[in-house]
Structure 1
Amino acid sequence: MMKIITIGNQKGGVAKTTTTMNLGVALQELGKKVLLIDLDPQASLSVYLNHNLNDKYTIDRLIDEFINDEVKNVEKYIKTSENDKIDYIPSKARLSALEKEMDTRYSREFILKEILENEYFKKYEYILIDTCPSLNILLTNALTCSTDIIIPVQSQFFTMDSLNLMLETITKIKKYVNSNLNILGILPTMVDNTNMSKEVIEYLKENYANKLLDTHISRLVEASESTAFKISLVKMNKRLGKQYTELANEILRKSH
């Protein structure tokens, strides 16, 4: 069965985009057919993938065409990154303006779900969705269509409030629109040797042991290098790339 995984947290700066990119590439390296979707108006994932910003076939236009019953061919929206050879649907800032139009549509929470029910997407084993750091109709759409969610959490105490907010959001989504949504795991990111980082990990183990992933992602400067060079940490064969490969293996174990 196809897995649709949202990488989500209502707080910014927790490595959602880095996780979406590198988990996707790692899964592909392990032989899976993967599609990445940039559902963030900031389009950080699209930039990371070295997408041509002049391309008009982006997720906002796909949603717009779908709302107006004008989608003729979804294939034109699927791009393949030059450096990582992974399929993706890009985003742009216009997606933010489209939220208002989405809000007025009947069954607005199900727009992305209905799009992904197109026969073309059935060739993918994993679809990973990068989301914006706020609770809005875009995040709701991602959670409504997803089988699973991974919640990246920066190893700082001030991120605990956002984790609790995210868990509350998931509870509401499960109650009202997607009862099958599964928390695949909480992913500690930007982990270092500071006392605060160690205390946060211990806190997560004590309070969320059944949801905490075994894989932790370190805080290393190579993450910035990867985004600057627009090539994944996995392809660069960096230490963080190996951690994301470990994460991919853990996800595969949990998915079966």
Structure 2
Amino acid sequence: MKTLVIANSAGGVGKSTSAHCIAVAASEYGKKVLVIDADPSAGLTFACGIENPRVSTKEFLTGQFSVDASIIKSGERFSIIASSSRLLAIDIDQAISPAKLIELLASFDLVIIDTPTGVSRITTYFMASADLIVLPSTTEILSLRGALNSKDYAESAGHSGQLQLLITKATQLLDDEFKSLIDEDFALLEPTIRSSLQVSASQSQAKSVLTLDTKSEVAADYREITYLLLEKLELI
């Protein structure tokens, strides 16, 4: 089992969209995938067509329910532990240990964690045991600043691997100067994820763009990125 954390302290960068699309693509590649929505705003949970789950990430992390009781099967071949605003009340010090978390989820090939915007101990909790951390970001300065902040959080959590920067909502090719600046702090994932109105349309229908517009450019981008990530995680 490998864990992939999706993080950026800045909002509006495509964290939940990326977690959703990577989960669908990894499932298409034959992997048994679990998504944990660790964001109290529950955007990814809603994007999967789930509202007000009886068991949420909070109850799972505090050991109130088993893995089987916490999991919901999505309509896109992956499983999800859904979130709710109840997660705001969690005392992360009372959560199961990261080592125990890995043990409980060992039956999955890939566990993807969608983390919240801003500074959160929930994010560093998951970063501590992450095999790979992906930071979705636009090319705007506030998004990149959020990625740099997330790099600091990862280091404070004891994560020693190089963080992967995924440029989303791209409207043009990245120039060499931008790439050289990024390379100082991150491993740049390519291709970039092209900007697409289809992403917003898919969210309103509780499906990923890979399901609703399977031959679109953005779907192809996410499939290529997912294959690369699976290679990095030695799952393919």
Fold match by TM threshold 0.5:
yes
Kept in 1, the 8 Å contact 2:21–2:222? The answer is yes
Structure 2 stretches of 5 or more lacking a match?
none
1:113 offset after TM fit, Å?
A: 4.3
Q: How does 1:112-131 map to 2 (within 5 A)?
A: 112-118=98-104, 121-131=105-115
Alpha-carbon distance change, 131 to 113 in structure 1, aligned in 2, over 3 angstroms: farther
- Structure 1 residue 251 corresponds to structure 2 residue 229: yes
Q: How does 1:23-172 map to 2 (within 5 A)?
A: 23-51=22-50, 53-64=51-62, 66=63, 70-71=64-65, 73-82=66-75, 84-98=76-90, 101-103=91-93, 105=94, 111-118=97-104, 121-172=105-156
> 1:87-126: CA deviations, max 9, x gaps?
110000110122xx324x4xx6x645423322xx222111
Which entry has the higher C-alpha Rg, 1 or 2?
Answer: 1
2:192 alignment partner AA:
H
Question: 2:167: which partner in 1?
Answer: 188
Alpha-carbon distance change, 198 to 54 in structure 1, aligned in 2, over 3 angstroms: closer
Kept in 1, the 8 Å contact 2:139–2:167? The answer is yes
1:16 alignment partner AA:
K
Equivalent in 176, 180, 183 of residue 205 of structure 1? 180
1:163 offset after TM fit, Å?
A: 2.0
1:240 alignment partner AA:
V
Is the partner of 1:62 in helix, strand or coil?
helix
Q: Calculate the TM-score normalised by the size of structure 2.
A: 0.90
2:222 alignment partner AA:
Y
Q: Residues of 2 paired with 1:80 and 1:202: CA distance?
A: 44
Kept in 1, the 8 Å contact 2:45–2:83? The answer is yes
Q: Calculate the TM-score normalised by the size of structure 1.
A: 0.83
Q: Residues of 2 paired with 1:234 and 1:184: CA distance?
A: 25
Greater shift, 154-163 or 7-16, is seen at 154-163
Q: CA RMSD in A?
A: 2.0
Structure 1 stretches of 5 or more lacking a match?
none
Greater shift, 155-164 or 122-131, is seen at 155-164
1:9 offset after TM fit, Å?
A: 0.6
Alpha-carbon distance change, 202 to 224 in structure 1, aligned in 2, over 3 angstroms: farther
> 1:28-57: CA deviations, max 9, x gaps?
101111111100000001001111x24311
Alpha-carbon distance change, 184 to 27 in structure 1, aligned in 2, over 3 angstroms: farther
Runs of 4+ in 1 over 6 A off after TM superposition: none
1:94 alignment partner AA:
R
Is the partner of 2:135 in helix, strand or coil?
strand
